């Protein structure tokens, strides 16, 4: 399998997603190797000359004024990792741990960290062998980087931590000592040299791993939200007037125009729309229908902004001190501070929560017979059956949870290290909240997908005389759903249907089914 080359400059969100979720290997470019060697040579010279370099010949944080004897410099780095591996809470998802490894390798490959090429090659070998560090989720305040989580990652490298290893019969992975997994893979534990411990753990790799994967999923979800919303519009016999290009030309936000264009594509050729074009007493639809371009579009623009910021962070040097080989200097700074990611993770949470909020309002309109004109709770035997009644409860519960999760983490700070580190980003918390909001939004949209398909079954049948077809894109989506989830004739366990709909949302294959019938969606 051809590896993805890492050079510290050209990693994309798409690359990160592929590497975190598959067994795609990685490699170091020759130019990156040269830069890494040059910065390491400078560190070695400073050590020989007994120069004062933070974290190399001094202690850390509040202990930066303590000089370390040359004989203890290697031990200093291992002690740093051991002492900072103080995490708590549930383990990070494996894809996040893999994403952290990719990001740390890419940052070191820039050549401003002063590590040995051998260290980088060993980390690449561990990644390519499929060894995944077991990393607890709690403990980072998002400045000096994700110190705790990265320390647990390094523990796995030096043979003192735990990793996910293959099961005894090659089945599900299980947690094993890293020394055991390294030996089985034909690798030896890393011996840290001066500067390497601090270079490995100063950085934003946990929050950025969450951010990169979340924004990639958010982009895909935004397109699916348009497909699902179009199904609801058709089921509710909504108008297409609100999606007219002329309206959106006068308020030219990119996201708004894109969503309106998608809605027009999805509803094109709709018999349902034509059936009530004349004589319908409604002058205009409710906001959850009429303002889909404005709401979905604003979330899209926010997601695009987050993508831009995350793309910068993926290829940034964010440890301390930084080594400038061409200038022969080391500079102490604060590139490890997670504020850029902290802010956009709060923004992403809000953008995703709004996709869920408006979706839940459409769900309510679908199941509310007085608003939809459809059978109450989308069942023909109401009373005996409850239909989709409680599906709306679940969506309401989830969007309410999101409102709590969207309280910004980035406005908080708490001092650490005897007030030396007196402003912290809380980006690690913001990133994990955004991840949870994303999962919640996916679930709410899955519930809307379920309800919209059920409602379309009734709307398409009209008065029973003929089947009224929706737009070609909506018809394709409806056919795809009905291949996987049957119409709800009588009550059954909705949990199973919701999970099936969520699987469709997560795998994104419904988009391909739609685009086979229409032009590509944006």
pLDDT in tens, 129-139: 999 999 999 99
Q: What does the pLDDT average to over 426-446?
A: 97
Residue 470 · residue 514 · CB < 8 Å: no
Q: What does the pLDDT average to over 464-484?
A: 91
pLDDT, residue 275, reads 75
CB atoms within 10 A of CB 350: 18
pLDDT, residue 424, reads 86
pLDDT, residue 416, reads 85
Grade residue 456 by pLDDT with cuts at 50, 70 and 90: very high
pLDDT in tens, 76-88: 999 999 999 999 9
* For residue 59, pLDDT beyond 90: no
* For residue 41, pLDDT beyond 80: yes
What one-character DSSP code corresponds to residue 2?
P
Grade residue 62 by pLDDT with cuts at 50, 70 and 90: confident
pLDDT, residue 60, reads 83
pLDDT, residue 122, reads 95
Grade residue 42 by pLDDT with cuts at 50, 70 and 90: very high
**Catalytic positions:** 54
Q: What does the pLDDT average to over 460-477?
A: 85
Q: How far apart are CA 297 and CA 506, in angstroms?
A: 21
Highest mean pLDDT among 56-65, 272-281, 313-322, 459-468: 313-322
Phi, psi at 328, each rounded to 5°: 70, 30
Helix, strand, or coil (residue 387): coil
pLDDT, residue 172, reads 55
- The CATH fold assigned to 4-203 is Fumarase C; Chain B, domain 1 (1.10.275)
- The CATH fold assigned to 211-319+330-515 is Fumarase C; Chain A, domain 2 (1.20.200)
pLDDT, residue 61, reads 76
* For residue 148, pLDDT beyond 60: yes
pLDDT, residue 461, reads 82
pLDDT in tens, 193-233: 999 999 999 999 999 999 999 999 999 999 999 999 999 99
Q: What does the pLDDT average to over 99-110?
A: 98
pLDDT, residue 173, reads 75
pLDDT, residue 278, reads 65
Rg (CA), the chain: 27
Q: How far apart are CA 360 and CA 50, in angstroms?
A: 64
Percent of the chain with pLDDT over 90: 84
pLDDT in tens, 21-35: 999 999 999 999 999
Question: How, if at all, do strands 174-177 and 162-165 pair?
Answer: antiparallel
* For residue 465, pLDDT beyond 70: no
Q: What does the pLDDT average to over 476-499?
A: 97
pLDDT in tens, 501-522: 999 999 999 999 999 988 999 9
State both tokens at 190.
């890393």
Residue 36 · residue 108 · CB < 8 Å: yes
Lowest mean pLDDT among 76-90, 333-347, 350-364, 408-422: 408-422
Question: DSSP string covering 297-354, please?
Answer: HHHHHHHHHHHHHHHHHHT----SSEEETTTTEEE---TT--HHHHHHHHHHHHHHHH
Percent of the chain with pLDDT over 70: 97
Domain regions of the chain by residue span:
4-203, 211-319+330-515
Name every residue whose Cβ is closer than 8 Å to that of residue 140 and which is 6 or more positions away in sequence. 146, 147, 148, 149, 206, 207, 428, 429
Question: DSSP string covering 220-278, please?
Answer: HHHHHHHHHHHHHHHHTT--SGGG-HHHHHTS--HHHHHHHHHHHHHHTT-HHHHHTSS
* For residue 170, pLDDT beyond 60: no
Share the mean pLDDT of the chain: 94
* For residue 335, pLDDT beyond 70: yes
pLDDT, residue 166, reads 63
* For residue 444, pLDDT beyond 70: yes
What one-character DSSP code corresponds to residue 284?
S
Cα angle for residues 80, 132, 178 (degrees, 5° grid): 60
């Amino acid at each position: 399998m051809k590896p993805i080359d890492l050079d510290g400059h050209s990693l994309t969100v798409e690359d990160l997603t592929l590497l975190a979720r598959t067994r795609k290997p990685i490699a170091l470019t020759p130019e990156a190797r040269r830069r890494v060697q040059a910065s390491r040579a400078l560190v070695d010279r400073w050590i020989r000359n007994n120069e004062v370099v933070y974290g190399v010949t001094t202690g850390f944080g509040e202990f930066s004024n303590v000089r370390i004897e040359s004989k203890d410099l290697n031990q200093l780095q291992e002690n740093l990792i051991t002492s900072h591996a103080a995490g708590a809470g549930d383990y990070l998802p494996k894809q996040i741990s893999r994403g952290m490894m990719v990001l740390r390798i890419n940052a070191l490959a820039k050549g401003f960290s002063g590590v040995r090429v051998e260290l980088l090659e060993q980390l690449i070998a561990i990644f390519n062998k499929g060894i995944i560090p077991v990393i607890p989720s709690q403990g980072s305040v998002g400045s000096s980087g994700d110190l705790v989580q990265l320390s647990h990652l390094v523990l796995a490298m030096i043979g003192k931590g735990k990793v996910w290893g293959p099961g005894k019969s090659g089945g599900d992975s299980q947690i094993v000592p890293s020394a055991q997994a390294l030996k089985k893979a034909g690798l030896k534990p890393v011996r840290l040299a001066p500067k390497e411990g601090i270079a490995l753990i100063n950085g934003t790799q946990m929050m950025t791993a969450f951010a990169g994967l979340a924004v990639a999923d958010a982009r895909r979800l935004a397109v699916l939200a348009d497909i699902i919303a179009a199904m609801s519009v058709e089921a509710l016999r909504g108008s297409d007037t609100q999606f007219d290009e002329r309206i959106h030309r006068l308020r030219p936000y990119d996201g708004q125009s894109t969503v309106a264009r998608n809605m027009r594509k999805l509803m094109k050729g709709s018999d349902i729309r034509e059936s009530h074009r004349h004589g319908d007493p409604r002058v205009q639809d409710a906001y959850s229908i009429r303002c889909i371009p404005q709401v979905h579009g604003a979330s899209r623009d926010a997601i695009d902004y987050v993508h831009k910021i995350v793309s910068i962070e993926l290829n940034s040097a964010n440890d301390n001190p930084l080594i400038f080989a061409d200038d022969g200097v080391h500079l102490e700074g604060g590139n490890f501070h997670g504020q850029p990611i902290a802010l956009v993770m709060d923004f992403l949470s809000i953008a995703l929560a709004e996709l869920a909020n408006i979706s839940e309002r459409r769900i309510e309109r679908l199941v509310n017979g007085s608003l939809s004109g459809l059978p109450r709770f989308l069942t023909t035997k109401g009373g005996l059956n409850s239909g989709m009644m409680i599906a709306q409860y679940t969506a309401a519960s989830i969007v309410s949870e999101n409102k709590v999760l969207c309280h910004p983490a980035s406005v908080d700070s708490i001092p650490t290290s005897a007030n030396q580190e007196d402003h912290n980003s809380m980006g690690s918390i913001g990133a994990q909240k955004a991840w949870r909001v994303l999962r919640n939004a996916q679930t709410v949209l899955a519930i809307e997908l379920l309800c919209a398909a059920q409602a379309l079954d009734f709307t398409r049948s009209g008065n029973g005389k003929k089947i009224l077809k929706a737009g070609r894109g909506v018809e394709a989506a409806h056919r795809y759903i009905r291949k996987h989830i049957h119409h709800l004739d009588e009550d059954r366990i909705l949990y199973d249907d919701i999970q099936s709909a969520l699987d469709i949302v997560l795998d994104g294959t419904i988009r391909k089914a739609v685009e086979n019938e229409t032009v590509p969606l944006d």
